Chain A
């Protein structure tokens, strides 16, 4: 695969079509959980893993999938693949499963996973699709971590709380107390806080895009607004 192709995939995943702040697909479960940095990071990494697997799986099978029945087959493929990985993780890498595995059932039928299968993996090779999964996953992880950071500081007054669950008891010293004796701010912890913070992040991205556009084309340039995608039944 050409260097330019790889560069495009990562540029799309991390910025231009970022699933968190540009595509806005399947965000409901993700937003609910991004209340701390560690939760957000775990969820982001699990999503990356699932998207990489589902992307390459769909790409590998795309020749045999009839066009009319492709969506149910994608759902089936992704669900099977991810359940298998979840079982294997639980059995053979139990400590990793305890950290990431619990998030997997939450994201397996997520809209963004299906959207990448439909719009990318069904038209591209295995390697490109795997890379797309990684790029999209990392893009989403980055957004979730920023979101989790904002919500954790406002909601709990800490950063990285719960990191000992991921890296063991010794990592407990990494927890940063930003505001000592903080009483908590419930709105930031609950889902509405996630939507408000996400709205601000999207506004920031649009503003950055607009500024870049103005630099390139003069003062009259406009940027197409973000359009939301589908919502999952949650």
Chain B
């Protein structure tokens, strides 16, 4: 009896040791890499912004003309997000919102959405996601042009019940094999347009927060907003 107990305790301790060592190794690697990863994601995002907010639509420095937005359930996330604001001749022309679709097939899908001041979509891009490779990843612009189906859509030219995938009776395409993914993206884009409609004027109002911190000279690079969020 005693030896059984000892053997069990030994096994349990051993398991505990492996669990602790594994956790420590993971934590250390995360600590080592998370800044580099955040930076490369930031760079990817800036490239995507350039795709959906074409230079002709604004003449200001859109990457610097930013403001923090308070969390809103229409934006999907729990933290503040940065909005990039484009102006043409000092008139608001385009806003790039960062939105989260929280209910993807495998977790959150981070999106950026450019909305013209008339309320129509300039473009949508997926910044990061964990959808099934080969099935749900057609939402990436590099894999298919599905995401460009949002271009030009607005609350005016698509009625409320059209903001669904075709399978559910809406007007947006989807691909067989993965319908949850496009469904939640359509929902998130719809909500972002509603947010834009409600806050159109506030988005471009100059608040004290804007340009609070002078940014060192750097081309096409802003400090990662995550630093402020945390």
Contact = CB atoms under 8 A, between A and B. Distances in A.
A52 interface: no
Contacts of B32: 87, 91
Contacts of B37: 87, 90-91
B133 interface: yes
Interface in A79-114: 79-80, 83-84, 87-88, 90-92, 94, 102-103, 105-106
Contact of B134 (A33, A76, A186): A33
Given A87-B37, A165-B143, A189 B14 contact: no
A33 B18 contact: no
Interface residues of B, number: 28
B137 A102 contact: yes
Nearest to B177: A190
Contacts of B11: 66, 68-69
A69 B8 CA distance: 10
Nearest to B31: A87
Interface string B120-143: 000000000010111101000011
Given A77-B22, A80-B22, A80-B25, A103 B15 contact: no
Nearest to B14: A66
B29 A94 contact: no
A106 B132 CA distance: 8
B133 A39 contact: yes
A159 B67 CA distance: 47
A87 B143 contact: no
Contacts of B7: 68
A234 B133 CA distance: 14
Nearest to A90: B37
A106 B136 CA distance: 13
A64 B18 CA distance: 10
B57 interface: no
A190 B176 contact: yes
A33 B22 contact: no
Most buried by A among B12, B30, B40: B40
A142 interface: no
Contacts of B135: 32-33
Given A84-B29, A162-B143, A165-B143, A73 B15 contact: yes
Interface string B12-38: 101100110010011001101100110
A107 B126 CA distance: 23
A105 B131 CA distance: 11
A94 B130 CA distance: 16
Contacts of B130: 105
A42 B142 CA distance: 16
A189 B133 contact: no
A225 interface: no
A105 B10 CA distance: 32
A60 B132 CA distance: 32
A57 to B, nearest CB: 11
Interface of B: 7, 10-12, 14-15, 18-19, 22, 25-26, 29-30, 32-33, 36-37, 40, 130, 132-135, 137, 142-143, 176-177
8 contacts: A32-B132, A35-B134, A39-B134, A65-B18, A80-B25, A84-B29, A90-B37, A102-B133
Closest 5 CB pairs of A and B: A91-B33, A33-B134, A80-B22, A91-B36, A39-B134
Interface of A: 32-36, 39, 42-43, 64-66, 68-69, 72-73, 76-77, 79-80, 83-84, 87-88, 90-92, 94, 102-103, 105-106, 162, 165, 186, 189-191
Given A32-B135, A80-B26, 15 more contacts: A33-B134, A42-B133, A43-B133, A65-B18, A69-B12, A76-B22, A77-B22, A79-B22, A80-B25, A83-B26, A92-B36, A94-B40, A106-B133, A189-B176, A190-B177
